Structure 1
Amino acid sequence: MIYLLLSVLSSMAIFVLFKLFDKFKINTIQAIVVNYVTAFSCGFFFYEGTIEPEIANTNWFFAAIALGFLFIAIFNVMALTAQRNGLSVVSVASKMSVIIPILFGIIIYNESTGVLKIVGVILALVAVYLTSVKQKDDAVLTQSLYLPVILFLGSGIIDTSVNHFAPKNEMQLFLAVIFGMAGCIGFFILGYKAIKLKQYFQLKSVPFGIALGIVNYSSMYFLLKALHVDGFESSSVFTINNVAIVAFTTLTGLILFKEKISRKNWLGIIIAMVSIILVTLNDGN
Structure 2
Amino acid sequence: MIYLLLSILFTTAVFLTIKEFQRYQLDNLQAIVVSYFIAFSIGCLHSKSVFSVSNLITQSWVWGALSISTLFIIIFNLMAITAQKGGLSVMTVANKMSVVIPIAIGIVLYSENAGFLKLFGIGLALLGVWFTSKKKGIEKFDKRLWYFPFLIFIGSGLADAIINHMQAYYVSHGDLDLFSTSLFLFCGLIGVTVLLLKKITGNLKISIKSCIGGLVLGLPNYFSIYFFLKALSQPNYETSLIFSVNNLLVVLVSVLLGLFLYQEKLSKQNYIGLGMSFLAIIVLYFAV
In structure 2, relative to structure 1, the CA distance for the partners of 1:54 and 1:16 (3 Å cut) is closer
* Unaligned stretches of 5+ residues in structure 1: none
Amino acid at match of 1:121: I
Contact 1:84–1:143 under 8 Å retained in 2: no
Q: 1:222 aligns with which of 217, 223, 227?
A: 227
Tell me what 2:69 maps to.
68
1:130 deviation in Å? 0.2
Tell me what 2:179 maps to.
174
Tell me what 1:206 maps to.
211
Tell me what 1:39 maps to.
39
Amino acid at match of 2:90: V
1:261 is aligned to 2:269: no
Amino acid at match of 2:82: T
Amino acid at match of 2:216: A
Q: TM-score, normalised by structure 1?
A: 0.95
Cα distance between partner residues in 2 of 1:17 and 1:139: 26
1:239 is aligned to 2:244: yes
Tell me what 2:97 maps to.
96
Can you list the C-alpha shifts for 1:255-285, whole angstroms capped at 9, x where unaligned?
11111111111111111111112112111xx
* Unaligned stretches of 5+ residues in structure 2: none
Q: CA RMSD in A?
A: 1.5
SS for the counterpart of 2:101 is helix
Amino acid at match of 1:23: R
Runs of 4+ in 1 over 3 A off after TM superposition: none
Contact 2:7–2:227 under 8 Å retained in 1: yes
Q: TM-score, normalised by structure 2?
A: 0.94
Cα distance between partner residues in 2 of 1:118 and 1:178: 31
1:116 deviation in Å? 1.2
- Counterparts of 1:73-92 in structure 2, within 5 Å, are 73-84=74-85, 86-92=87-93
1:152 deviation in Å? 0.1
Q: 2:198 aligns with which of 185, 193, 197?
A: 193
Cα distance between partner residues in 2 of 1:76 and 1:102: 25
Tell me what 1:274 maps to.
279
Aligned residue pairs total 283
Cα distance between partner residues in 2 of 1:118 and 1:97: 16
In structure 2, relative to structure 1, the CA distance for the partners of 1:247 and 1:137 (3 Å cut) is farther
1:173 deviation in Å? 1.1
Contact 2:44–2:51 under 8 Å retained in 1: no
1:195 deviation in Å? 3.5
User: What is the percentage of aligned positions where both structures have the same residue?
Assistant: 40
In structure 2, relative to structure 1, the CA distance for the partners of 1:259 and 1:188 (3 Å cut) is same
Tell me what 2:165 maps to.
164
1:155 deviation in Å? 0.3
1:50 deviation in Å? 4.1
Tell me what 1:26 maps to.
26
